[in-house]
Amino acid sequence: MDLIKDKLVKREILRFLQKNPETSIKKIAEYVGKSEKSIRRKIAQIDDLLVENKLGRIDTKPGRGILFVLYPNKQNQLLKHFSDFSIPEGISQNDEWTLICLLLERASNHFITQVELAEKLYVSIPTFRKLMSHVKEWFADHHIMIQTIPGKGLTLVGDEYSKRIAIRDAILLQEDEKQTVVLQRFARGISVEEISEIIRKAESDWKIKFSNTSFIKIRIMLILSVGRFSYASDMPTIDDFEREYTNEYSFVETLYRGLEKRGFGTFNEVDKRILTAEILVSNKLRWKDSAALTNLKNQYDNDLLEFVHTIISSISEILQQPLTEDKILEEELTNHLRSAIFRMKYGHKNSSELTRDLKKLYGRVFLSVWSTSQLFEDYYNVQLTEDEIAYIVLYIEAAILRNQSQVDAYLVTDRGRSQSLFATEYIKKNIPEIKEIYIIREEEIDSTRKDVLYLTMVPVDSVTAVPISYLPSNKDLVNIRTALSRWGIVPGSISIFSDASKPLLDPRLIFVNQTYTNKEEVVTFLSNQLESLGFVSPNFYLTVWKREQKTTTCIGHHTAIPHGSMTEVFEPKVAIMVLNEPILWYEDEMVDTVFLLATRMQTPIEIRQNKHFYRELTDFTENDSLMAAFKTKKNALAAFNYLFLKINEVEKNENRTFERI
């Protein structure tokens, strides 16, 4: 398969060169969907073959690109050198391809004899057997076995996913202009152009663009899910495919909604997961067409985790900061890149005011992240955009602050090891500012030291001792945080919004010091911003406004939380606006702060994320002092940072008590 794929890629390069003899490596890479590094290597191999066989040459023009020169009357000879199979003597490539299609067209458990196949191919039985031995290898690469049952004939044994991948590959072995005709053999009566329109519409809504190669593959798989709908019961079980992590799955849902709206029916969940897997590996340098579906997601995640480790290590070395052991950074960056790679691969490049601000504020960190751009190209064949650099900078800066504010502590106890270990892990989990807790006995205390935090389960004579219960309680956590605050650690230990809510918030979607006169203007503006960044569909605004006309979304405290339909959300986000003057929202309700929710609750992770966010949003909006401080922020970046600043939980609790009184 690797050899076949290599020839397919080279054939695509040659087609492009024949249409565009004078071009650049970058343009070829964009057309084929490979990295420039990979294209340079294949161009060199093609040039060697051209020169060796006296077919032509590829000249390099410094500063201009490359020039493809094909010698006169060499066209047919050139194509012959890039046939897609190594064909045994006496067998034509057309025979082999036709046999593959004849077998793939058969339904499961439908048999055909060798004699019938030989007659269809117009070959003798000995020639057919030679042909069959080679075709068996091709099917084996696709996890399909050719089974022979005496008295019945031949049939294919394999799951529906493997068969669809085999059909896709058989179609791709044909010239571009023939692929549509071949596709009709496996999906009769389905309009290829109509399916293409559905994909283009989804691309437009999501503000993304697939390479030509990826578009064709996605179209084939989408058509096969329609044309082979009756075989869906033969799909493999893939319960471990964690679709909720990927934007790719959300995009696929958009495609299938497009099919359903046009009357193509309702589709199997596995169909969606298969197409998600196809998009996950499209344009990826290290991919395997023949890999089992259940391994695709695991391979993608393993590669992503390896990639995250690599870039954290690189940035850590440049900044001379101990970031490689920061599990919070690893988890946050991994989750962020799941969707970021999708945006970079298919989205439009742009640069925001946030990016310019971060360059000024965190120039050194910005440069360290920018230095990893080559890694993004090598691993995923994507260009690291300035906006994505800005987001990674925020994660790195948060990790640096976290590292700078961490301290070690000592647990003084007379309890057993199991109870002591529970206490240390419980405290570290709830107070990340404490990096490590060492368990000691009372006699090991150095009461003269004032730079050591002692957490004591027994009476201790030390000015830095914090008494705690044998089973630490919330009250103990508050006392520890208070002690840390006295020590000058980052104020307090709890933020307005937690890391669980962070993916929903985006500095580009925070607008402060705004002046509008009515809620329709506000909702329209925020909806347009969400749409322009590719987070929602053009229909999202209509679903928001329809709700607003039926009922109020004001929750008190001069705050409104309008929201739209989940089906129009591509990537969950929350847009925020702070108005200079309150506006009338509903009847006599005045509002000066708006949270427009573009959220979903279609997966367990999304449900948990929503619960976290609503709980934190409720606490925030009910705290007048925190809200008042938020409304004073002068720009989006300051407002965003404020939402994740650490605040003193004691102050929060005291403030709530005062408000209730």
Which stretches of 362-479 are assigned E, i.e. beta strand? 407-412, 434-440, 453-456, 465-467
d(CA 370, CA 143): 42
Q: What is the sign, positive or negative, of the torsion defined by CA atoms of 106, 108, 110, 111?
A: positive
d(CA 391, CA 470): 41
Q: Token match 């003269």: residue?
A: 448
510 and 630 Cβ atoms separated by less than 8 Å: no
The rounded Cα 617 to chain-centroid distance in angstroms is 26
d(CA 219, CA 204): 16
Sheet with 407-412, side-by-side order of all strands: 434-440, 407-412, 453-456, 465-467
pLDDT of residue 519: 92
pLDDT of residue 389: 83
d(CA 33, CA 653): 55
Cβ neighbourhood burial of 585 (10 Å; 0-12, 13-18, 19+): buried
In DSSP terms, 576 is beta-bridged to: 510, 595
The rounded Cα 196 to chain-centroid distance in angstroms is 23
Of 176, 218, 173, nearest to 16 by C-alpha is: 176
d(CA 367, CA 356): 13
The rounded Cα 321 to chain-centroid distance in angstroms is 27
Phi then psi for residue 624, to 5 deg, are -60, -35
In DSSP terms, 213 is beta-bridged to: none
Q: What is the sign, positive or negative, of the torsion defined by CA atoms of 208, 214, 216, 221?
A: negative
Q: What is the sign, positive or negative, of the torsion defined by CA atoms of 226, 230, 231, 234?
A: positive
DSSP state of 111: -
In DSSP terms, 440 is beta-bridged to: 412
Phi then psi for residue 573, to 5 deg, are -150, 165
In DSSP terms, 577 is beta-bridged to: 511, 594
pLDDT of residue 592: 95
Phi then psi for residue 412, to 5 deg, are -95, 115
- Residue 59 CB neighbours (<10 A): 13
In DSSP terms, 22 is beta-bridged to: 67
d(CA 95, CA 12): 23
DSSP string, 282-328: TT-SS--TTS-HHHHHHHHHHHHHHHHHHHHHHHHHHHT---TT-HH
CA angle, 159 as apex, 155 and 163 as ends, to 5°?
A: 70
DSSP string, 547-589: HHHHS--EEETTEE--B--GGGBSS-EEEEEEEEEEEEEETTE
Of 66, 22, 76, nearest to 44 by C-alpha is: 66
Strands 22-23 and 65-70: antiparallel
pLDDT of residue 7: 65
Q: Token match 């589709």: residue?
A: 267
Query: 453: which 2 tokens?
Result: 């935090």
Mean pLDDT (10-residue bins), the chain, 661 residues:
59 81 86 80 82 82 80 71 43 72 81 87 83 86 87 86 87 80 83 90 80 83 82 57 59 86 79 76 39 50 83 85 85 80 66 67 80 76 78 84 73 81 83 81 76 83 82 82 65 64 89 93 94 89 87 83 87 94 88 92 74 81 83 89 64 37 25
pLDDT of residue 574: 95
598 and 539 Cβ atoms separated by less than 8 Å: no
pLDDT of residue 656: 38
Distances (CA, A) of 621 to 120, 559, 594, 626, 660: 74, 7, 11, 8, 14
* CB-facing half-sphere around the CA of 400: CA atoms within 13 A: 15
In DSSP terms, 347 is beta-bridged to: 208
